[in-house]
Structure formats: C-alpha cells, structure tokens
Chains A and B, each alone.
Chain A
Amino acid sequence: MTSAQRKHRTYPVLLPKEAGLARPQARRRPPNPVARGLAILVLLGAPLLGHVWLESQAAQAGYRLRALRQEVAELERERQALRSREAALRAPDRLERVAARLGLHPPSPEQLVAAVIPADLAPRPAAAPAQTWWQRIAQVFRDPAASAAEPERP
C-alpha cells in the first residue's frame, strides 16, 4: 500500500426522493377499537352528560323555587291569620270586656266639658328645624319623584 493511496472519506449528500430509495413505510396499525369506542362515547356522551347536568341543575333550581314559593305562601297565610287575629282582639266587644275587667268605663256626661280654646292660644304645629348648608345642597340633587313615592311614616 502506497502513501499516495487515498483514504475513504464519507460526505453526507441529500438525495431526491425516489421510490426506489425511500424507506419502506411502516404498515399502519388498525385503530384500537376500544380507543375508538371510548372516543365516540366521549364525543357523544359529553354533550349528553352536559345536557343531563343542566337539566338536573334546572330541576334543583325548580325545587328551590318551589320551596321558596311555598314558604312565601305559608308566610302570607300566617300574616293573614295574624291580621285577622289582631282585628278580633281589637273588636269593640272584647275591648269593652277587658276594659271593664280593669275598671275602665266611658266617661259620664258630667265628666265632659267643652273647652273653648281662643285662636291665639291654640297649639301651633312646630316649625321645621332650619336646614344646614349640606342638607340644602343634598336637596338639589335629590329626586323629587323618589321622595314623593316614599310612604308616610306615622
């Protein structure tokens, strides 16, 4: 062997795709039927489950609503009964019996005196207290319709 003998060198070359050169493709495995079934089950079942869940939520809400309605009806029923009971307790006949038991009687005519009060001595309604600056400013911004709608307080 001489020194002029050239040594082998390997160079990477990119070759065009050729049928003959391509590596034989690996044979595709048939899909796993279990996995496929599971996938179909999930795809079909998820919306169904979602629908069932929503339905059950709606039913639960319906039950709660029904219970609350029932409670409102019960409270209304109780309010009416109490109101009727109050009216019965305030009936003149009963009040008179209770008053008589306590020794109370209507005044006799001799106990009644017609008192004539001169106009200048008649009680006058108390004057409203003076408003502060803050109250005046607040009044400007207050909705007059809203305050008119407020119920009168005894």
Chain B
Amino acid sequence: MKHHPSSGRGPRKGSPEVLALSRRRLKLLAVVWLLSLAGVAGRVAYLQTAKFDNLRQLGRRQQVDTVTLPASRGRIYDRAGRELASNVVRDSVYAVPRAIRDPEAFARRVGPVLGMDPAAVVDRVRRGGYFVWLARQIPPEAAARLRELDLEQELGFEPEERRVYPAGSLAAHVLGFTGVDNQGLAGLELQYEEVLRGRPGRAVRVRDGLGREILEGRQVLSPGRRGSDLVLALDSVIQHVAERELERTVTQYRARGGAAVAMDVHTGEVLALASLPAFDPNRLPENEQAWRNRALDSYEPGSTLKLATVAAALEEGVVEVRSRFTCPGFLRIPGGYVIREAHGEAHGRVDLAGVVRLSCNVAAAQVGSMLGPQRLHHFLTRFGFGQTTGVDLPGESAGILRPARQWSGTDPYVVSIGQGVAVTPLQLVRFVAAVANGGYLVRPHLAVAVRDPDGGLRRLDAGERVRVLSPAVARALLRMMEGTVTDGTGTAAAVRGYRVAGKTGTAQKPSPHGGYEPGRYVASFVGVVPADRPQLAIVVVVDEPRGAYFGGVVAAPVFSRIASQALWMLGVPPSESTPQVVRHRGGD
C-alpha cells in the first residue's frame, strides 16, 4: 500500500487509489442492494403466486366478514292503538382481547360498571381473538360511564334493539317475552314470531388490524325489513281491570293464583286475559311458575260443567225444561260411591232450571246418567272440551276428557257434575259464549290484524263459527243461568243495571295419589253480561283460596266487578229491566 509522503496517514483524498476503493465499495453496496431487492422481489413473487390463495383467505377472514343486520321487531298494540310492546336501542359492549395487555387491570375497571365479577371479565378476555361480548343491551348510564373510561382500543359498542313492555306486567302472559337476541320465547311474541321479527339484512364488514370495524368499509348486501306490527283485540283498560280485581281477590283469600278471561261472545275476540301470579316481562323472574298462563291450564271444573250436561240433555231431548228431579241430598252411584250436595241440604223436587240455579249435584248426576257415557262424551267433545280451542297462544292445554270406552259406571254421574274431567278457563268461557250467541262455538283469538311496515293493514282470519247448540236450547239455558244470579248460588255476580247470567263452580283439587286433597279447592264463576243482549262472556277461576272457597263467594264478586267496569268501558247501555236479586245463599 502506498502512503502519501507528506501526511503519512494513507492515500490522499481524490487520489486514484481512493477512487478505486470507493468504486469497489459502491459496487459491493450495489450488489448487496440488488441482492436484497431480488430477495424481496422473490418473496413478493412467492407470496403473490404460491401462497396467494391461502393468504387472501386468511386476510379476508381477519379483515372482512359478513354480518347480519338485525331487523327491527314489530310492535304490539291493543285494540285502541295503545302500545303494549315496543323497542328501544341499547348499547351492547364487547371487548377486543388482542388489544388488551393487562386483562386483570381491564377487568377491574370495566367489571364494576357492568355489574360483573372482574374474574368473569378476565375469563372472557382470555379467550383471545378480536371480539368477545361482555354485556348485552346495557342501560344508557352504564354505557356513558364505560365511554368515560377511555378504552377505545379495548372496548367496542354495538347498538342493539331491546324489547320493552311499557305497561310493565300488564298482559304479561298474553304478550310473553323475547330473548336477548329479540327472538320470541313465550306468549304472542312466540306465536307471531314470523310476523313480528321481520327479515334481517346482510352486510360485509371490514375491520382494522385491531379488529375494530371500519365504518366506511361497510357494504350492505341486502337491507333488512322491519317486522310487522300486531294489533290485538285486547283492551288495555279492561285487561287492567281484570288483573286488578283478580289480584285483589287472590290477595284477600291468600290463594295460590287465578285466571280471568273476558271474551266477545259473537266474535271470540279476547278483550282481557289475566293470570296470577304475574310477572314483569321487562325483568324476567327466576321462578318459571310465574310464567304459567293459568287461563290455558286445565283444572277440574266442578259445577260449571253442569251447564254442558244440561245443554247436552236438552239438545239430545232426554230432558225438557220442565223436567223435574228429586234431590234427597245424596245419590248412591255405581261403585259404592255417594254423591252429596255441597251444603248437605236436600233440594227436594227441582226442575232443570233449579239444577242450574241451585247447582244441584244429585239432579245433575241423574241427568248425566240419563244421557249415558257415549252421548255425554259426544256432546262434551262437540262443545269443545278435551281439545284445544285454537287460541293464538302457545302452550294451550287440551284438558282431559277420556274416551267414552274408558269410562267406568260412575263416570257419567261424576263427569256430569264436573269431576273426573279437566277443562281450561278458555274452553269454559268459549262454551258459555256459544250459549250466549245463540249456539255458535267461536275461536277465541287475541290478534285481529297485522300492519305491514309500509302501513298496509291486513285483518287476520277469526276462524269459522260452528253451530253446537240449537237457538232454543241456547236461549233456555241462558234463562236458567240468569236464575243463578237472581236467586241461586251466584248472586254476588250481579251487576247493578244489567241482567247477568252465570254459573258457579267449586271443585276439590284431585290428589296425585288418588282421591281429592282435603281443604284444597278451585272456586270459579262463568257468566254472560248483559243477559238480554249478550256482549261479554267472563270466566273467573281462583286457585286454592283460604277461608271461603265457594265459587259464589270468592269468584262471583270478581266477575261482577270486572263486568261492571268493562261494560262501562265498552259503552254498553244498561238493561231495560233488571230482576230483583235475592241474596240468600252462600254459593256453590
């Protein structure tokens, strides 16, 4: 190596040696640069060709996905257009686990706001990924507090519709409730799920590296269509009256529960359907027993079924209105059993109207035995017992009506007084409505119309009316039922200013071990008002009242209070003349 003589440090700047060295270095750098570029280009080529499909799929999975756009659920209105079920928008909160560095610290901040155990939050966050729900449809205050935590990377909010029932527990058993994804789970919400839920839409969502959605990247593939609204026959005010009066009695008699149904006798439109115990569908109770709709549950009806026995006998012609029976207070029947009167009294000679008015067990059993098992079973089936009514509510019981061939010798006697058979309050009120409307069995129904999102109103089919009684028999039976209220076991059902027809019922509850439970009764009353121009059929059933237990004492007053207020609400003018009510019996 040559050295510059003057400096002694090496070749001088700009000397040929230095230039040659620089050139070599530049060449080396260029080679390295080109090799690096070639490497990158090769890698790009490899990724873009050999791995193209895999990487594209992977990228799409991470960044692009298809989401369902939930359709707004249709609302439910009563007959006067009052809102019974609607929706409000609430925020649902999700976490982005990939963006959370310290799950414990995150949980300590978020958990208390959501009312969640921090350990539960940590569990969810540790699942990893880009998305995990923390809480759905939280209150607005909680959402505001979460936003103040300044956790934009770690937390996300998704607006969702939440079903709300503005009137609280009103008609809860009718309306039912929905799940967290707004799917119908009970009542009309379940029955009309197809109508109410609408059609969800679909959209493509693009997410950033942290899994958060890039809003500008959202593309709607198919817009959703909101659900149709449901218009009910139910009247909120009459429903409230029925619930209030039933609750007052259930509380007064410390009963286990009860049911009341008010129905238009001509159309089958259900104006009120109350069931106790009640619940608030906005806050579902853990006790699922409260969800039971007792109006659709079967029970042993007792004396109210005598109406069907008498109707069948008149229709079949085995008895006449003037037929008379002897009641010594008891009746020995096949099998060694004895049928007795409720109060142990002997009615002596009673006509058919007396059977209804006094609720005479002995005479009713005689009528049943005259009909025989085949004909009694045939007519009970014709009157709609032992089968569902077709009401537009899920979970309806068909009741229990064994086939006639399975009946023993005692059955015609006991079934004719409402034992050994189970009916629902709805079946009973439907039958009484047939008596009131001249003999037609109608289909009880709650929904009367569907309003489409574009505003079109479509009336729902009310079902066919089926004649089950001749007009003469229906008229005669209605007159007999009036006697129950004017001078019989149901005088407490009288409504001032209106003529009322009805029938009391007091039934011992069957024991699961056979026989009957001592001291456990179901008190009921079913009736029609006004009896001269029938409009409403109402049934009231009170389960296991304590203290008093006769239908005429416990259930009939509820009927009276519901009927008087419902008639006023409906603007039904009072009857032109009302008979004098003679209150001298304790009821049956």
- Interface, chain A (partner B; CB < 8 A): 62, 66, 73, 76-77, 80-81, 83-88, 90-93, 96, 106-110, 112-114
Q: Which stretch (B60-68, B80-88, B194-202) binds chain A?
A: B80-88
User: Does B568 sit at the interface, judged by CB under 8 A?
Assistant: yes
Chain B residues near A86: list those with CB within 8 A. 166
Which of B166, B244, B496: most chain A Cβ within 10 A? Answer: B166
A113: nearest residue on chain B (CB-CB)? B574
Q: How far is the CB of A67 from chain B (nearest CB, A)?
A: 11
* B interface, CB within 8 angstroms of A: 82-84, 86-89, 159, 164, 166-168, 170, 215-216, 236-237, 239-240, 244, 495-498, 564-565, 568, 573-574
Report whether over half of chain B's contact residues are helix, strand or loop; otherwise say mixed.
mixed
| Shortest Cβ distance from A77 into B: residue | B89
Cross-chain contact B497 with A109 (CB below 8 angstroms)? yes
Shortest distance between the CB of B296 and any CB in chain A (Å): 23
Closest 8 CB pairs between A and B? A87-B166, A114-B573, A92-B240, A91-B167, A109-B496, A87-B83, A88-B166, A77-B89
Contacting pair A77 B159 (CB below 8 A): yes
Between A and B, 11 residue pairs with Cβ closer than 8 Å are A73-B89, A80-B86, A87-B167, A88-B167, A91-B170, A92-B167, A92-B237, A92-B240, A93-B167, A93-B168, A109-B498
> Can you name the residue of chain A whose Cβ is closest to the Cβ of B83?
A87
Q: Is the CB of B497 within 8 A of A83?
A: no
Residues of B within 8 A of A90 (CB): 82
B216 near A93: Cβ-Cβ < 8 Å? no
Known interface pairs A77-B159, A106-B565; A93-B86 also in contact (CB < 8 Å): no
CA distance A109 to B495 in the complex (A): 8
Q: Which residue of A lies closest to B89 (CB)?
A: A77
Closest-CB distance, B201 to chain A (whole angstroms): 16
CA distance A55 to B92 in the complex (A): 34
Within the complex, what minimum Cβ distance (angstroms) separates A95 from chain B?
Answer: 9
Residue numbers in A under 8 Å from B170 (CB-CB): 91-93
B240→A93 contact, CB < 8 A: yes
Closest to B78 in A: A92
Chain A residues lying within 8 Å of B87, measured Cβ to Cβ, are: 80, 84
B86 (CB) vs chain A CBs: closest residue: A84
Cβ of A87 and Cβ of B216 under 8 Å apart?
no
When distances are taken between beta carbons in the complex, the residues of chain A under 8 Å from B236 are 91-92
The CA of A109 and the CA of B573, in the complex, are separated in Å by 10
Bound-state Cα–Cα, A87 to B239, Å: 16
Which of A73, A80, A90, A108 is packed against the most chain B CB atoms within 10 Å? Answer: A80
Question: Given that A93-B168, A109-B496 are known contacts, is A87 also in contact with B86, CB under 8 Å in the complex?
Answer: yes
Q: Which residues of A contact B239 (CB under 8 A)?
A: 92
Q: Specify which chain B residues have a CB less than 8 angstroms from the CB of A106 in the assembled complex.
A: 565, 568
CA distance A70 to B86 in the complex (A): 22
A83 touches B89 (CB 8 A): no
CB–CB A76/B89 < 8 A: yes
A86 to B239, CA, bound (A): 19
B166 touching A109 by the CB < 8 A rule? no
